A and B are shown apart, each in its own frame.
Chain A
Amino acid sequence: MNTSASERGTDLVKRGLAEMLKGGVIMDVVNVEQARIAEEAGAVAVMALERVPADIRAHGGVARMADPSIVEEIVGSVSIPVMAKSRIGHFVEAQVLESLGVDYIDESEVLTPVDENHIDKWNFTVPFVCGAKDLGEALRRIGEGAAMIRTKGEPGTGNVIEAVRHMRMMNRQIRQLTVLDENELMAAAKELRAPYLLVKEVASTGKLPVVNFAAGGIATPADAALMMQLGCDGVFVGSGIFKSGDPSVRARAIVEATTFYQDAGKIAKVSRNLGEAMVGINIDTLAPEDRMQDRGL
């Protein structure tokens, strides 16, 4: 076979990598040492950052793409895929990350958006993951070329309530579509503010056309298993691991709870003696301007 005659960056290849990450945990890391701890603990990928979301929240100001040297060092230090975040709409940050050999770009509300428009993700060979609180948001992002979706639980809070809300909303809206008459789908697309052809596809298959992970506020093995039982395909853990008392032990426990998410006995076993969980924030105490999930709808 002549591999130069082959096609790169196709839908199948982009969405396919997300398929391979299913049932796994993607961990936020800020340096090579953390990346190695994550890989050793059984992470399926790492998210290379300059600061974890809890620190972005504490630091304030404009949050941007990480320093390329941090991303590059992490890319060179592990054998698992490396993801990195660009600001919403910042296609040049995305171009830079692609040039660094990043395997997936998270166009993320954790960073400060630069545009009302999201990145035109069809223009890239590297795949993108985007956050979504509901089905309309998910289908708009897929319409722009996202190859993977995640919930938009409030990052850096250690509080999983918003991720749960988003997943329940997504499931409910998908179920509702599947019982509609075909001639009701255009009105449904209008209401969801989503591309009609994608609405039609979801109505007939009963699922999103791409993988959907949980993200935002996951801090314990039980949180991860909760999101899996709600129907997520896998889990992102941001601040929850490296802001906890014993990151390595907690990382392993969350990986095991994600695999054995239906086995309460195993979840109980891995939840013992994990040390301090990250300190949480109640969502009700967040000022509206501090709610990251309302960015980039």
Chain B
Amino acid sequence: MRIGALALQGDFREHLHVVRALGADGVEVRTADELETVDALIIPGGESTAIGRLATIYGLIEPLRDRIEAGMPVLGTCAGMIFLASGTLRYEQPQLGVLDVVVERNAFGRQVDSFEADLDVTGFADPVHAVFIRAPWIHKVGGDVDVLAAVEDPETGESRPVFVRQGRILATSFHPELTNDTRIHELLMEVD
């Protein structure tokens, strides 16, 4: 299986390291031609504004949208989740709009509020040790979106999704690529 990581900016090498360890062929994707060669795609952590801008000027928005809408499995982490989403609270920025959620950027606060914690995930026997870095959460989910993990909003007590699935699209607020837990990458490889 050939898995691409969108390599415009961010920690794409960490993702490729994980999928290669799982036996997949991991490749960096920076162009529409490179995108054509992969069976699945990871959109890494990074700065969503930088990734969105580079994807726009290098003509990647339409090819990405077409491949994902045609059923290519995709995993977006943190900035990747924001880029997949259909909208962002307060900010206007380039997004693919293939995942029917509205995200809130920097939802937990600034870097001093970044944290790591154990997180219960639907379908996983043991919790995931999740690393949240200036992380987004999901403000609003659409009808076809399954929430696999959520946190409690410390201010309102509302439940805020941090791991969702919509068909073959997986998105996390946190960074599975920064820990040794490979279950979320395995999920991407097995998605059907």
Contact = CB atoms under 8 A, between A and B. Distances in A.
A45 interface: yes
Interface stretch (B35-43, B62-70, B111-119, B182-190): B111-119
Contacts of A126: 111-112
A52 to B, nearest CB: 21
A9 B9 contact: no
A289 to B, nearest CB: 35
A98 B78 CA distance: 24
Contacts of B49: 39, 42, 79-80
A16 B105 CA distance: 17
B53 A42 contact: yes
B46 interface: yes
Nearest to B153: A3
Nearest to A99: B112
B145 interface: no
Interface in A70-105: 75, 79-81, 98, 101, 103-104
A5 B117 contact: yes
A256 interface: yes
A19 B15 CA distance: 12
A13 B50 contact: no
Contacts of A142: none
Interface in A1-28: 1-10, 12-13, 16-17, 19-24
A46 to B, nearest CB: 11
Interface residues on B, range: 35 or more
A108 B110 CA distance: 22
A103 B57 CA distance: 28
A22 B117 contact: no
A170 interface: no
Contacts, number: 129
Interface residues of A, number: 42
Contacts of B13: 22
- Residue from A17, A19, A80 whose CB has the most chain B CB atoms within 10 Å: A19
A20 B131 CA distance: 12
B105 A1 contact: no
A260 B7 CA distance: 9
A43 B178 contact: no
A21 B44 CA distance: 11
A127 B113 CA distance: 12
A13 B152 contact: no
Nearest to A211: B11
B14 A44 contact: no
B78 A20 contact: yes
B76 interface: no
A271 interface: no
Given A3-B117, A17-B134, A80-B49, A22 B9 contact: yes
B15 to A, nearest CB: 11
Contact of B8 (A10, A12, A23): A23
Contacts of A4: 154
A44 B47 contact: yes
B9 A101 contact: no
A2 B7 CA distance: 34
Given A5-B117, A43-B50, A101-B112, A16 B178 contact: yes
A183 to B, nearest CB: 30
Nearest to A11: B116
Contact of A13 (B9, B131, B150): B131
Nearest to A4: B154
Interface string A181-219: 000000000000000000000000000000000000000
Nearest to B114: A13
B179 to A, nearest CB: 8
The 8 A-B pairs at the shortest CB distance, nearest first, are namely: A6-B117, A103-B111, A6-B115, A44-B47, A23-B9, A42-B53, A42-B50, A19-B11
Interface of A: 1-10, 12-13, 16-17, 19-24, 39-45, 75, 79-81, 98, 101, 103-104, 125-127, 255-256, 259-260
Given A1-B152, A23-B7, A23-B9, 9 more contacts: A1-B118, A16-B133, A17-B133, A21-B46, A21-B47, A101-B112, A126-B111, A255-B54, A259-B30
